[in-house]
Amino acid sequence: MPATTSIRIDQILYDQAKTDAAAEHRTISGQVEFWAKVGRAALDNPDLPVSFVAESLASMAEPREHATTFIPRSRKA
């Protein structure tokens, strides 16, 4: 198990994390960690939309057995 550290955050941010965590089936700390990863990746890749970054990180966290096979669209002749 990775090491953990306690931090203080604003109550409003905590409440938002609690709401989003429930909707996304994450723990509150897992939600805050996800937001931090999205923020870091967005800063590292300013040319990408934040929604793309968030969706990419979420899909990378899914177990492989839940993944759907990519089926490319057929090319038009």
What does the pLDDT profile of the chain (77 residues) look like in tens digits? 778 889 999 999 999 999 999 999 999 999 999 999 999 999 999 999 999 999 888 888 777 777 777 788 876 65
pLDDT for the residue numbered 64: 75
Alpha-carbon span 31 to 45, nearest angstrom: 21
pLDDT for the residue numbered 75: 64
What is the pTM for the complete model shown?
0.70
pLDDT for the residue numbered 27: 94
pLDDT for the residue numbered 77: 53
- In this structure, the dihedral spanned by the alpha carbons of residues 48, 50, 56 and 57, taken in order and rounded to 10 degrees, is 130
Residue boundaries of the structural domains of the chain: 32-60
Alpha-carbon span 33 to 44, nearest angstrom: 16
Residue with tokens 């996800």: 34
